[in-house]
Amino acid sequence: MNQKMQESVIKSLLDWIEKNLHHPLSVDYVASKAGYSKWHLQRIFKEHTGMTLGDYTRGRRLSESATILKITKRDIYDIALEYGFDSQPHFSRAFKKQFGVTPRAFRKSETLDTKKFFAPIKYKKELSLEADIVTLEPMLLVGKRKEIPSKVGENEYFDFNSRMKIWDDHFINLRDKPTKLIGLVEYISSRSSRQEYAFQYTAATAPSDANNPVNNEELITIEKGKYVKFHYDGAMDGMQDFLYNIYSVYLPKNKMIRRKGEDIEIYKPLMSSVKNHDINCQYFIPIL
């Protein structure tokens, strides 16, 4: 098998693994699906990625299960079975080996430590994200929170259609020329289902830009804190991949710890450009 063909096989295999993380994904199983001998597949996988096939699939399954632990109230036993572990003790041992804590302790922590997450390999595709570490001063905002339930696997929290519906309602309470528009993002367990999570979004502005905040909205205080800051300038449909790459690739690769708090979006120019499917946004994630 020549080099180009090997690269094609590994790329297809990486894509297939991401779509099948709920399966046991043993080396024998993956090799049989790929149509190659176990020995041959393991050899070319390590040659092209720098890690063994078994380590990669196990690391990705545990990383995905860690996300589910954080954003849902799903039973740990159910999560273990869903990600191919034959028992909760087996899952807990593997989880503690990778993350250094038990699944229960990981769930209870107020931070999200991404240092031990396995980022999905974007084969032959460099991630072009630039970021700065900044400190934001306190902000007083006026806004209205809305909780959007979503099923796991449906990336509602990266979808801008949901945001636009909330902003449409918020525009009713704005003066003609607000100085800036700010979105606050938080991922929480769903109140209605142990199996789901919720995407809580707040459309906010400075108090001077809102009409009747007491009757329609609430005052929100953002405390001074440390953030990693990103910038996106482009089409609305590209924002979803941008946010996914931040959380699934950039934070783990840079071993960052997300602290308690909300992500902050600051739009410039104003939302009128977003309605024309063009986004210029600064995106801040709270970190330690």
Please write the tens of the pLDDT for every residue from 14-48. Answer: 888 888 887 766 777 777 766 677 787 888 888 88
Instruction: Tell me which of 78, 109, 140 is where a domain ends.
Output: 109
Number of domains in the chain: 2
Examine the domain organization and report whether 34 and 142 are in the same domain: no
Q: Is the pTM of this model over 0.85?
A: no
* CATH label of the domain that carries residue 218: 3.20.80.10
Strand partners, 200: 147, 186
Examine the domain organization and report whether 164 and 259 are in the same domain: yes
Examine the domain organization and report whether 76 and 203 are in the same domain: no
At residue 247, does pLDDT exceed 60?
yes
Does a structural domain hold residue 58?
Answer: yes
Examine the domain organization and report whether 136 and 28 are in the same domain: no
d(CA 257, CA 260): 10
Identify which has the larger pLDDT, 15 or 101.
Answer: 101
Instruction: Tell me which of 109, 139, 168 is where a domain ends.
Output: 109
Please write the tens of the pLDDT for every residue from 132-153. Answer: 999 999 999 888 888 777 666 5
d(CA 209, CA 141): 10
Please write the tens of the pLDDT for every residue from 181-202. Answer: 888 988 766 555 555 666 788 8
State the average pLDDT for the chain. Answer: 80
Does a structural domain hold residue 275?
Answer: yes
Does a structural domain hold residue 15?
Answer: yes
Q: What is the predicted pLDDT for the residue at 279? A: 79
At residue 211, does pLDDT exceed 70?
no
The top-scoring range by mean pLDDT among 27-31, 34-38, 164-168, 278-282 is 278-282
Q: Tell me the residue range of the domain where 182 lies.
A: 131-286
Examine the domain organization and report whether 48 and 189 are in the same domain: no
Examine the domain organization and report whether 86 and 156 are in the same domain: no
